[in-house]
Amino acid sequence: MNRESLSFQASGRPKAQATAEEFRKRYGDASVAECDVIVAIGGDGFMLETLRANMMSGKPVYGVNCGTVGFLMNPYDLEGLAERIAEAEAAVIHPLSMTAATTDGRSEAARAINEVSLFRQTRYSARLKIIVNGKTRMESLTCDGVLVSTPAGSTAYNLSAHGPILPISSHLLALTPISAFRPRRWRGALLSHDAHVRFETLEPDLRPVSAVADNLEVRFVSAVDVREDRSIAMTLLFDKGQSLEERVLSEQFDN
């Protein structure tokens, strides 16, 4: 990989900014429009920001960890970056498309790389109807919330909510409740990646609900439609032997 083909993007944290300058001095720096690979320096949150900002570009993104968890990132190593990128293993992921209708008649659209989540806004629990592919699957779910996760996002908030970890190549989505009260024993469902999931809020005046696509929030929703958007493909690069598929598999055996 030519050094001029790398574009270094860093989060606002001082450590990430300093690391980016080290890389720029060693490898040069191209613009995003002219580069072959975007190098995102920061944590998982900044990786998601970078993917969202360049979602339509088709440019692969290689992450360098300067954050905390770094599940989507590679370890920092100043030496041999171009060679590591040339030998990197690629993971192709697709975002979720969210369309949220609000109680005052507005409609807002957003995309999510990890998950689309619905949350109660007040002390009252949320009550939601769940419709999958046009068929009502649950007349009423009383809960703190519910989410639809991509395979890439299944090790993030979905896992914290006790949802299943999905292999990257599984062609599945996870539908996971958050603190379900009724039905108390419901643990969620696995859906085909092409499923159309619709949530309708019950008693929205008494029990207001917000919808969040990764970090973009729409408040006071009346209905939310979620589906995978296969028209968009994002490529993440991982050091050889450390593919995203391997990381997801390892997570399932982590004690």
Closest CA to 197 of 253, 118, 123: 118
Map residue 159 onto helix, strand or coil: helix
44 has catalytic annotation = yes
Whether the CB-CB separation of 224 and 126 falls below 8 Å is answered with no
Given the residues 29, 44, 214, 254, select the one marked as catalytic: 44
C-alpha 29/C-alpha 9 separation (Å) is 10
CB burial string 57-90: b at 16+ within 10 A, e below: eebbbbbbbbbeebbbbbeeeeeebeebbeebee
Q: How long a stretch of residues is the chain?
A: 255
For tokens 């982590």, the residue is 254
Catalytic residue annotation = 44
